[in-house]
Amino acid sequence: MGEGNEQISTLVDRYRKYLYYDGNVKSTRTISMSVAKSFVSFLIGVAFEEGQIADLQDPVDTYAPHLKGSGYQWWIPENPQGDFTAIGIYGQFIYVHPGHNVVIAKTSAYVDYNNSGDEMEFESMEAFRAIAKGL
């Protein structure tokens, strides 16, 4: 094999280690809830922009009555300030603060999530609130 092919092979091997997170392999099954939340938030933005959602403060069951009484997978943070959030695995967030007209989406693959995820979530919430207040 020529030198160029060896270099390409080395680059491919280096790249492969980044394809899968935390020991996962091609056949590993993972949950997609965080991806779904990101996709849904995008669709909500499109629906709002197109006038299919009248007000972002409307309850979800206004548009999806079958969800009445469920938690919708959204949380009210400690010391509520009119904000709410969806929290995904490994530190992914959708943060909404209607009073400040702010939506923040945070993608993440926080490596130490299983050990210090709670601390990271509290720190993220403080950062989101500071950003919302500062805008």
pLDDT in tens, 79-132: 888 888 888 778 888 999 999 999 999 988 888 877 888 888 889 999 999 999
Name the least confident of 14-28, 31-45, 82-96. 14-28
- Asked whether residue 8 carries a pLDDT value surpassing 50, the answer given is no
Domain, as residue range, for 116: 29-134
Has residue 6 been placed in a domain?
no
What is the C-alpha separation between 91 and 87, in angstroms, rounded? 7
Say if 17 falls within a structural domain. no
18 lies in a domain?
A: no
CA distance 17 to 81: 42
96 lies in some domain: yes
> Considering the domain boundaries, does residue 60 fall inside one?
yes
Any domain includes 99:
yes
Query: pTM for the full model?
Result: 0.49
Contact between 52 and 58 (Cβ < 8 Å): no
| Amino acid identity for residue 97 in this structure | H
Name the domain count of the chain: 1
Higher pLDDT, 32 or 99: 99
Does 107 map to a domain?
yes
* Residue at 82: amino acid letter: G
* Average pLDDT over all residues of the chain: 77
Q: Is residue 42 part of a domain?
A: yes
